[in-house]
Amino acid sequence: MALAESKKTNILADYHTGKYSQRELSKKHKVGLATVSRLTKEIDPELEHLVDRHISLVEECIELPDEKRNAVFQTAERLVRHKGLIQSVSEALLDRKVKMIRKGTVEEKINVGDGMQQFQARELNASDLKNLADGIDKVSLTLGVNQRHSNMQVAAQVNAGEGQSATTVINIVEDKKDD
C-alpha cells in the first residue's frame, strides 16, 4: 500500500529537525524502518539549527514567571506577523507601481459638473515618475532589496563600537600601568 503524501510530508518534516533517529520516526509515524530509510536516503536535516535556537530561547525563558514568558512569545509572534503583513503589502504596492510605469498612464479625477467627477487616463508626467521612483525606493528599503541606509547605520555603529573598544583597551592598559 502506498504511503499517503501527508504522512511522507510529516515524516520528512520531523526528520529535517535533526532530532529523530530513523527508528524513532518509524515508531512515531507507525511505518516500517525501511520506509523511513527510503524517504530520508541522501537527505540531510536542514532545520536542526532552528530547533537548537528555539531550545536555547525556551531555556532562557524557563525561569521567567508564566506571564512574562507568555508576553515574550506573544510579542515575538505579533512582531513576526506584522513583519509578514508589511512584507506582503510592500510587495503589492511595488507590483502596482511597476504596472503603472509599464502602462505609462494614471487615472485622474476630473470634474464634469456640479459635484460630479469621473476618472480619465492621462500619461505619467515627471512628477508622477518621481513619486513612483520615491515609492519604489522606500519599498525596496522595507523589503531589504536596497540597503544603502542600513549599511550607513551599521557602519556608524561599527565605528562607534570600535571607538569604544579602543577606548576601553586604552583605559585597561593605563590602569595596569598605574598598578
Domain extents in the chain? 5-61, 77-145, 147-179
Q: What is the pLDDT of residue 153?
A: 37
Least confident of 17-26, 73-82, 151-160: 151-160
Q: What is the pLDDT of residue 1?
A: 65
Residue 153 to residue 159: CA distance in whole angstroms: 10
- DSSP-derived letter for residue 115 is T
Mean of pLDDT over the chain: 82
Q: What is the pLDDT of residue 162?
A: 46
Residue 11 to residue 26: CA distance in whole angstroms: 9
Residue 179 clears pLDDT 80, i.e. is over it: no
Q: What is the pLDDT of residue 68?
A: 95
Give 112's contacts (C-beta < 8 A, 6+ positions apart): 118
51 and 19 Cβ atoms separated by less than 8 Å? yes
- DSSP-derived letter for residue 108 is E
CA distance readout (Å), 102 to 6, 65, 121, 154: 42, 56, 14, 35
The pTM of this model reads 0.53
Residue 15 to residue 9: CA distance in whole angstroms: 10
Residues recorded for the chain? 179
Q: What are the grid coordinates assigned to 42, written together?
A: 541522501
Q: What is the pLDDT of residue 158?
A: 37
Q: How far apart are the first and last CA of the chain?
A: 80
